[in-house]
Amino acid sequence: MASDRPTLARADANDLERIINVSNQDVDEVLHAVEDNADALFTWDYEKGARPALNKLYEKAKNAQWNGETDLDWSIDVDPARIFAMELQTMTSAGPIKAMMEMDDSPFKGFGEKEWEKLALESLNWRMSQFLHGEQGALLCTAKIVETVPWVDAKYYAATQVMDEARHVEVFAKYLDTKLDGFYPINAHLKMLLDDIITDSRWDMTYLGMQIMVEGLALAAFGFMYHMAQEPLLKQLLRYVMSDEARHVAFGVLSLKEYYAELTDAELRERQEFAFEAAVRMRDRFMQQEVWDRLGVDKRKILEISLAMPPDQMIFQQMLFSKIVPNCKKLGLLDASGGWLRKRFEEIGVIQFEDWVDTGEEYLEFDAVAQDRAAAAKETAAS
């Protein structure tokens, strides 16, 4: 089947002009409409367990539901100054910002304590806002999977993920509203990717774009933030969200591995191109152009320096792909079409993650809900 969605439309993934010129046209609107071209599929085959791995995942998901209002301690007093201090320390201790600080023509020349604190505040608000928008994208995409996937076991599991995503939108929105002071509209690169995922008519492209690429990156980003965070409510929130996200990525791996084994080389090449496009757009998203605009910092200079930096200085950006690359390898996408996607991942400096653990079974290690319930039961028995 021919592709019914646009491609990256630039020969060079590092084309600075194309990156900067992506912008939101309806940033002041409350609603954003996207055309959904997919058919809603009924299946009259109700045999549960025809796909044992998906059925196992579904049973796990039913027992791992949590309540964002009662399972998180919203009474915790969050000290924004402490969070911002940690955010600033993280940003300036390694990676591109630290490297730029040491340049003679640094974009941060003249920054004092007030400016650095403002950058930490805006970066945290921006990151949490994009997590929130991404979770709503996952909510819509997973509802679409319920409609479009042809297997009843997959419909069952996807329905549990719809509930998960609604809960994630709820808790991120509440944290931003009650514990932080600031909000950003959706990043233009993230919005463009979500629009493409929803617009595509093929059910497996929804899986690939959301479950493998967006959710895979989110799982890595949440993990990074969880290990750096010291604020207890945020740490608890991220831990619970990560336990859900690990299942979501596993859902994509388990479903697509079976389906992709039957595709032609030409069909796999389309999936490779889509995966690379998603990877580049998510990398561009994390350049946080909106923050530089709000602070009045020269974003062109920052992006130009960032794109020219060697991979070993882009630690956070690289780690975001630690789940994506091994999962793409498990799906056979790295080496199909003469290793087309492998070469592209080499170009953006992330191929080193190919032999890391994929997420097909890793979700069992992230089960925070089961761990906490077992601990509570043990404590009750001891008392």
For the chain, which residues make up each domain, given as ranges?
Answer: 50-97+107-382
Q: State the chain's mean pLDDT as an integer.
A: 90
Structure tokens at 33: 């409409």
pTM attached to this predicted model: 0.92
Indicate the pLDDT class of residue 5, thresholds 50, 70 and 90: very low
Distance, CA of 87 to chain centre: 19
Averaged over 309-333, what is the pLDDT? Answer: 84
Question: CA-CA distances (angstroms) from residue 268 to 33, 144, 264?
Answer: 29, 22, 6
Distance, CA of 363 to chain centre: 16
pLDDT higher than threshold 60 for residue 273: yes
- Dist CA 319 CA 309 (whole Å): 15
Distance, CA of 283 to chain centre: 11
pLDDT higher than threshold 70 for residue 247: yes
- Dist CA 138 CA 160 (whole Å): 12
pLDDT computed for residue 97 by the predictor: 86
The three state secondary structure string of the chain is CCCCCCCCCCCCCCCHHHHHCCCCCCCCCCCCCCCCCCCCCCCCCCCCCCCHHHHHHHHHHHHCCCCCCCCCCCCCCCCHHHHHHHHHHHHHHCCHHHHHHCCCCCCCCCCCHHHHHHHHHHHHHHHHHHHHHHHHHHHHHHHHHHHHCCCHHHHHHHHHHHHHHHHHHHHHHHHHHHHCCCCCCCCHHHHHHHHHHHHCCCHHHHHHHHHHHHHHHHHHHHHHHHHHCCCHHHHHHHHHHHHHHHHHHHHHHHHHHHHHCCCCHHHHHHHHHHHHHHHHHHHHHCCCHHHHHHHCCCHHHHHHHHHHCCHHHCHHHHHCCCCHHHHHHHCCCCCHHHHHHHHHHHHCCCHHHCCCCCCCCHHHHHCHHHHHHHHHHHHHHHC
pLDDT higher than threshold 60 for residue 299: yes
pLDDT higher than threshold 50 for residue 198: yes
Look at 13-27, 184-198, 263-277 and tell me which has the smallest mean pLDDT. Answer: 13-27
pLDDT higher than threshold 80 for residue 110: yes
Residue scoring higher pLDDT (309 or 317): 309
Indicate the pLDDT class of residue 8, thresholds 50, 70 and 90: low
Smallest CA-to-CA distance from 94 within 228, 282, 226 is with 228
Averaged over 334-350, what is the pLDDT? Answer: 93
Look at 16-20, 53-57, 80-84 and tell me which has the smallest mean pLDDT. Answer: 80-84
Q: Report helix angle 232-260 to 215-228, nearest 10.
A: 150
pLDDT in tens, 125-161: 999 999 999 999 999 999 999 999 999 999 999 999 9
pLDDT computed for residue 206 by the predictor: 96
- Dist CA 192 CA 274 (whole Å): 13
Express as a percent the part of the chain with pLDDT over 70.
96
pLDDT higher than threshold 90 for residue 308: no
pLDDT computed for residue 130 by the predictor: 96
Q: What kind of fold does domain 50-97+107-382 have according to CATH?
A: Ribonucleotide Reductase, subunit A (1.10.620)
pLDDT higher than threshold 90 for residue 87: no
Q: What are phi and psi of 180, to 5 degrees?
A: -115, 180
pLDDT computed for residue 313 by the predictor: 64
Are 353 and 322 a contacting pair, CB within 8 Å? Answer: yes
pLDDT computed for residue 1 by the predictor: 35
- Dist CA 238 CA 117 (whole Å): 23
